[in-house]
Amino acid sequence: MGRILGRVLATSTCVLIAFIAYSSQVFLFFPWYGSVISVDFLWAMVPFNILVAMIWWNYYLVVMTDPGRIPEGWQPHLVEGQSFEVKQGNGQLRYCRSCKVYKPPRSHHCRDCNKCTLRMDHHCPWVNNCIGHGNYASFMRFLFFVDCACAYHLVLFFRLVWDVVDYRYMYTPSTGTVVWGALNFATCVPVMCAVGLFSLYHFYLLATNTTTIEAWEKDKVAMLVRRGRIEKIKFPYNLGLVQNLRYVLGSSMLFWCLPTRSVQGDGLSYPVEAGTGEWHAHASGKERSSPLVPGYPPYPAYPPGAGAPGMGDNGYGYPYPDGHAVLENGTVTLHEDGQDAYARVRGRTEPGDAGEAV
């Protein structure tokens, strides 16, 4: 049922885009310019149609591009200095029992798609797809061009209305023109307000390299800080405004607005800001220590509860040889991902020493 509703909403979105973009040109702006394809008409319509074309192109990319799926058989390799995430409390690596794969950082399982999505932002019913690592840049460009096209449309519309009020209109508007004008105004203004507010929020998330899910987590963290349950901490993925934009939109500013499927990174690991400290969020508001998981060198990963030949599971869902695991100069931090809590382990790990989770 969810997939059917998604297709209906995606089709409705296409109909709405086409209605605002083309009915305004055929029934409003073309008669306004005397029903003649003049130079003035082209000067007004060519930029508008470029914006509309960019909307269609980016919408197609958002709908048709895979947002990013975890490769089959992917395992978290615990190399020295690499970040990885484990569940809170029991120390298990984040594992999706539905997809039967380990979850890389920032990935989540989408119930609508029934798949895990890399750097999942949210599931958008209007595009019938998840917004994630593979199509987030196209999604942001789509929002940007919708805002620009709606603003351009309203500028032309109000110029037309002003000409009518000021008696500059070449012909008296017909009843049909008035009806089409009212319909365009009644659809374009709500779209611009709704998408505009939504865009502002996502532009902020883009500038801070935050997903919608992580924004909810940051709100929870802020609440716990205000209540004095945890210390003030810094979000680790915020690399600065310019670097955040480059990471999502591309390294060259000249191509930020060009629709493309190219993305930065593989979606399995992400750069973090040095010295960000701990990143806490806990559903109960209490900090818990997590058992240490084995460090360097890496060992094969198995589903929780599964063992490996010659290796002990120790109940953590990650097999390793008998002995002590250690986290040196690192931290275990608590994190809430919306469905389950997990801890982010960041730092160096070396075998042969004894350590304690902080």
Residues assigned a catalytic role:
124
d(CA 102, CA 75): 6
Q: Are 134 and 262 in contact (CB under 8 A)?
A: no
Hey, what are 12's tokens? 């409705």
Helix, strand, coil percentages (3-state) for the chain, rounded to 5, are 40, 10, 45
99 Cβ contact partners less than 8 Å away, ≥ 6 residues apart: 70, 109, 115, 116
Cis? peptide before 291, omega within 30° of 0: no
Range list of H helices, the chain: 2-18, 24, 30-32, 39-64, 136-165, 175-207, 212-226, 241-249
Chain centroid to Cα 222, Å, comes to 21
The pairing of strands 108-110 and 115-117 is antiparallel
d(CA 104, CA 88): 15
**How many alpha carbons lie under 13 Å from residue 298 in its C-beta half-sphere?**
13
Phi and psi at residue 189, in whole multiples of 5°? -65, -50
- Cβ burial, residue 120 (10 Å; 0-12/13-18/19+): buried
Beta partners for residue 108, in sequence order: 117
3 Cβ contact partners less than 8 Å away, ≥ 6 residues apart: 112, 128
